[in-house]
Structure formats: C-alpha cells, structure tokens
Amino acid sequence: MRHDGAGRSPALQSELATGSASVPRAEPRLPAEARDEEAPTAPTEAPAAQAKGPPLAAKAPAAQAGTARDVTPHIVLDENESSAAGPFQIVWEGLPAVSRDGKTIAVVLDVGLIQQKLIFQLLDGTSGATKRTIALVSGKAAEIYSAGDSEPDARVTAAVLASTKDHVREMHHILQQGGYTGLPRVEVSLKPVTAALEKALDSDTGALPMPALRGIVGTTTVTLDNDRLSIDREGQLVERRVPQWRHAAYNLPWHVHCDYYAALGEIAVDEAHERVVLLVHQYVMHAGDICALPSRYRVVRLKPAH
C-alpha cells in the first residue's frame, strides 16, 4: 500500500463551514499534522471534562486493517509527479514503524496548513514525546517554491529536489540503522463527522451529536468517543479514559469562533510492546482554515482498566 501527503486521510475542516463573512471560507485542505519546535503556538488544550460527551449519532462502521506485519518502512520521491511542495511527489509505506529495541516509533506527518509540508518524526515509545524531527521538504528554496507567487525557476526547482533527496536518504539511514519494522495499521474515515455536522446544520436545534470513530487492527479495537478513549483486545477492555485531546475553543480578534472535535485518523498496533499509535486530528467545527490546528500522533500504553 502506498501513501502520500495528498491522499492519506480526508480533509479535516468541514465543507459546511459557517465562518464569518469577513473571513473567506477556505477550500478543503490537506490534514494539518503535528509540528515540532518550528510550530506556531497552539491554544492550550481543554481542561479535564467532568460531564459525559453529547449523545452519539449513528456509529461509523469499524475499519479493518489491511497492512501486514514485517513491512519494511521506506519513502519514495517520485520525480514524475509534481506537488505543491516541490517538483516531485513523496509517497511512503510501512509507517508508523517501531525500532528494533522498541524504544522509538517513526512516523511521517503532513504539517502544512495550506501547502504540503512533510516531516519525519521519531517518537518516544513510552510517552509519545518527539525525540527528533526531519523536515523532508525544507530550506529557503522550498519556501520560495511553496509560496506560489510565481513559477519557480530551474535553479530553485533543482535546489528543492536536491535537499529533499538528502533528507530522504537521511531518513532511510535512520530506519535501517534502527532496524525499524512497519506496524499493522488502518485509516479511519472522517465521513461520519462530516455527516453529523450536515445533519445538525439541517436541523432546527443546531445540536451537534458527534459520532464515535473506531477501527480494528487484528484483535484490537480502538474507539474515540468524543473525549473518551476505549481500547478492546480480544474482547477484554484494557484501556478506558478521557484523554483530553481536543483543543479548547477560542475566539479570534475578528470575531471568529474556533471550535474543535478530536477525531481519530489512523490506528497502528504494536502487539510486541503492548501499545497503540494513534493519529489524532483537530477537526475544525467552524470557520475552516482560519482555525486550522496541527494534528499529532499519540502513543498509548495498554494496561488493565481500573
């Protein structure tokens, strides 16, 4: 299976955005993934929720994983296809992946709010904290290319291509030296979230009953139901908690209300080390790109429910 920054998961913002008239509604964009030290400051995450979430809409069918174990992770730079990031298309396979010693997890994220911007990250296998970030497309030439103000000249195009090839080689060296192996994974469709928003906007009440999102990888079922995370292994509930992954709502100075829904985008299971790796999006409930926030991978250690 091949993945790329353009087609790996659905656009995060609702196509039914109801932004202020002073802020043009943006077209659907690529997912905004986690930034590292170069990221803009994001709003503080919401405080711990005390009440249960809103009632559920019709639950989404669980997606089944199709990726087998022992996939060798790699990234391919396809020079026959251009993209917003450069004179190429980047595709990858076998990620997320776990290192030979189990201490590190490698992922690729698209962190571009408007333009494609892929980063390679190494995450701590216990906490999920970022240990290292490599921007696959970076540097001054890449900034010129992605600005979109004019057609880049041959010199800029060559510089973007050369720097990206260097970064891809560096990433492959890390994967080979660390003995990384791809994890079985499944992508989770965000269509139920969009459908729930459409239904709410068509109703007189304006309520937003948001659906639970779930996926199945082997014998592990992961469900994110509003702010409640449940993980079931072989029929036994091993994890149930309120993760507080949803960013707090806030208002921009020009009277735009930014409100979010924490949506499950991808599930990878590391059976050997008893953990799951989850891609959590910040789905924009209003105003489109003006409220866009990065998504990020989360590492959850499996433990008995209390």
pLDDT at 179: 96
Pull the structure tokens for residue 84: 């917003």
Under 8 Å between Cβ of 116 and 138: no
pTM of the complete model: 0.76
Higher pLDDT, 208 or 274: 274
Q: What is the mean pLDDT of the chain?
A: 76
Q: What percent of the chain has pLDDT over 90?
A: 40
pLDDT at 172: 95
Q: What percent of the chain has pLDDT over 70?
A: 71
Pull the structure tokens for residue 103: 């201490």
97-98: strand order across its sheet: 130-135, 118-124, 104-110, 97-98, 181-182
Higher pLDDT, 1 or 86: 86
pLDDT at 83: 75
What are the backbone dihedrals phi and psi of residue 47, each rounded to the nearest 5 degrees, phi first?
-65, 165
Helix, strand, coil share (%) of the chain residues, nearest 5: 15, 35, 50
Structure confidence by residue, pLDDT tens digits, 238-288: 999 899 899 999 998 888 889 888 999 999 999 999 999 999 998 887 767
pLDDT average, residue stretch 162-169: 93
**Where does the chain show beta strands of DSSP type E?**
3-4, 63-64, 74-78, 89-93, 97-98, 104-110, 118-124, 130-135, 181-182, 185-187, 213-217, 220-225, 228-233, 236-241, 250-252, 256-258, 260-270, 275-284, 296-301
Spell 180-193 as b/e; 16+ CB within 10 A means b: bbbbbbbbbbbebb
pLDDT at 205: 62
